Structure 1
Amino acid sequence: MSVSPKLRVEPTPLTSSPKKTYVLDTNVLLHDPNAITAFNEHHVVIPMTVLEELDDIKDRRDKTVSREARIAINLIEKIVEGATPAELQAGVEIPGSSVSDPLGNLSVYADQIIDDDSDVPFLSVKEAHSNDNRIINVALRLQAAAEDSFVCLVTKDINMRIKAKGSGLLHVEDYRRDKVLDDIDLLARGWTRITGDFWSGVAEVETLREGDTTLYRVPREVLPEAYPNQFIYDDQEFIACVKRMDSEHLYLRVEDRHHLMNRQFWGLTPRNLEQAMAMALLDDSNIDMTVLTGPAGSGKTLIALAYGLHAILEGGKYSKLIVARSTPPIAEDIGFLPGTEEEKMAPWLAAFDDNLEILHGADESTSGSIDYVKERANIQFKSLNFMRGRSFNNAYIIIDEAQGLTQFQLKSIISRVGSDSKIVVLGNLAQIDNKYISPLSSGLTYLVEKSKAYAHAGIMTIGGIVRSRLAAFAEEQL
Structure 2
Amino acid sequence: MAKKIFVLDTNVLLMNPRSIFSFEDNDVIIPMAVLEEIDDQKNKSSDLGYNARETSRLLEDLREKGRLDEGVKLEGGGVLRVVINGHKRELPQNISLDKMDNRIINAAIHLKKNSDKEVILVSNDINLRLIADAFGLKAEMHKADRLTDEDLYTGYTQCEISGNKIDQFYQNGNLSIEDIDSEIEFYPNEFINLNTPGEGSKQSALGIIENDKLVKLRNDKRNALGIKPLNREQTMAMEILLRDEVELITLAGKAGTGKTLLALAAGLEKVLKEEKYNRILVARPVVPMGKDIGFLPGTKEDKLQPWMQPIFDNLDYILKQNKSSDITFNKLVEKDRIQIEPLTYIRGRSVPDQFIIIDEAQNLSKHEVKTIITRVGKNSKIILTGDPFQIDNPFLDKQNNGLTYLAYRLREIDITGHIMLEKGERSELARIASEML
TM-score range relative to shorter protein: 0.7 to 0.9
Q: Which amino acid aligns with 2:80?
A: L
Which residue in 2 is equivalent to 1:12? none
Question: Using the alignment, how far apart are the partners of 1:216 and 1:375 within structure 2?
Answer: 48
Question: Using the alignment, how far apart are the partners of 2:159 and 2:170 within structure 1?
Answer: 21
TM-fit CA distance, 1:42: 2.7
Determine which of 196, 199, 218 is the counterpart of 2:162. Answer: 199
Question: Using the alignment, how far apart are the partners of 1:88 and 1:208 within structure 2?
Answer: 69
2:269 paired with 1:285:
no
> Percent identity, aligned pairs only?
36
Determine which of 87, 90, 93 is the counterpart of 2:73. Answer: 93
Determine which of 219, 226, 240 is the counterpart of 1:267. Answer: 226
Which residue in 1 is equivalent to 2:142? 175
2:27 paired with 1:39:
no
Determine which of 109, 113, 122 is the counterpart of 1:140. Answer: 109
Which residue in 2 is equivalent to 1:248? none
Mean Cα deviation higher: 226-235 or 425-434: 226-235
Corresponding residue pairs, total: 428
Which residue in 2 is equivalent to 1:70? 53
Which residue in 2 is equivalent to 1:57? 41
TM-fit CA distance, 1:456: 1.2
Question: Using the alignment, how far apart are the partners of 2:170 and 2:318 within structure 1?
Answer: 41
TM-fit CA distance, 1:51: 0.8
Query: TM-score w.r.t. structure 1 length?
Result: 0.81
Question: Using the alignment, how far apart are the partners of 2:296 and 2:123 within structure 1?
Answer: 36
Q: 1:355 to 1:207 in 2, by over 3 A?
A: closer
Q: 1:123 to 1:411 in 2, by over 3 A?
A: farther
TM-fit CA distance, 1:18: 5.2
Q: Which amino acid aligns with 2:70?
A: A
Q: Which amino acid aligns with 1:181?
A: T
TM-fit CA distance, 1:36: 1.5
Which residue in 1 is equivalent to 2:99? 130
Write the mapping of 1:312-327 to structure 2, written as runs, cut at 5 A. Answer: 312-327=271-286
Q: Is the 8 A contact 1:357 1:366 kept in 2?
A: no
TM-fit CA distance, 1:275: 0.8
1:328-380 deviations in Å (ceiling 9; x for gaps): 37444433567765554333211111111101225679997121123335322
Q: 1:472 to 1:223 in 2, by over 3 A?
A: farther
2:188 paired with 1:228:
yes
Q: 1:383 to 1:129 in 2, by over 3 A?
A: farther
Question: Using the alignment, how far apart are the partners of 2:292 and 2:105 within structure 1?
Answer: 34
1:60-106 deviations in Å (ceiling 9; x for gaps): 58x343333233223222332x355xx21122234xx44xxx4x432
Q: 1:370 to 1:29 in 2, by over 3 A?
A: same
Mean Cα deviation higher: 65-74 or 444-453: 65-74
Determine which of 79, 98, 104 is the counterpart of 1:105. Answer: 79
Q: Is the 8 A contact 1:309 1:377 kept in 2?
A: no
SS in 1 for 2:145: coil
Q: Is the 8 A contact 2:189 2:417 kept in 1?
A: yes
SS in 2 for 1:334: coil
Q: Is the 8 A contact 2:123 2:141 kept in 1?
A: yes
Determine which of 208, 211, 219 is the counterpart of 1:241. Answer: 208
Which residue in 1 is equivalent to 2:401? 442
Question: Using the alignment, how far apart are the partners of 1:340 and 1:162 within structure 2?
Answer: 41
Q: Is the 8 A contact 1:206 1:218 kept in 2?
A: no
SS in 1 for 2:371: helix
1:432-475 deviations in Å (ceiling 9; x for gaps): 12222221222222122112122111001122221222221221
Which residue in 2 is equivalent to 1:187? 152
Query: TM-score w.r.t. structure 2 length?
Result: 0.88
Q: Is the 8 A contact 2:249 2:384 kept in 1?
A: yes
1:134-165 deviations in Å (ceiling 9; x for gaps): 11222222222222x23221111223223223
SS in 2 for 1:90: coil
Q: 1:206 to 1:426 in 2, by over 3 A?
A: closer
Structure 2 portions without partners, runs of 5+: 196-202
1:213-263 deviations in Å (ceiling 9; x for gaps): x54323174461422111112342311111133xxxxx111337xx61x31
Determine which of 246, 253, 271 is the counterpart of 2:215. Answer: 253
2:119 paired with 1:151:
yes
TM-fit CA distance, 1:321: 1.4
Q: Is the 8 A contact 2:319 2:327 kept in 1?
A: no
Question: Using the alignment, how far apart are the partners of 2:170 and 2:322 within structure 1?
Answer: 47
Determine which of 395, 398, 413 is the counterpart of 1:454. Answer: 413
Q: Is the 8 A contact 2:227 2:321 kept in 1?
A: no
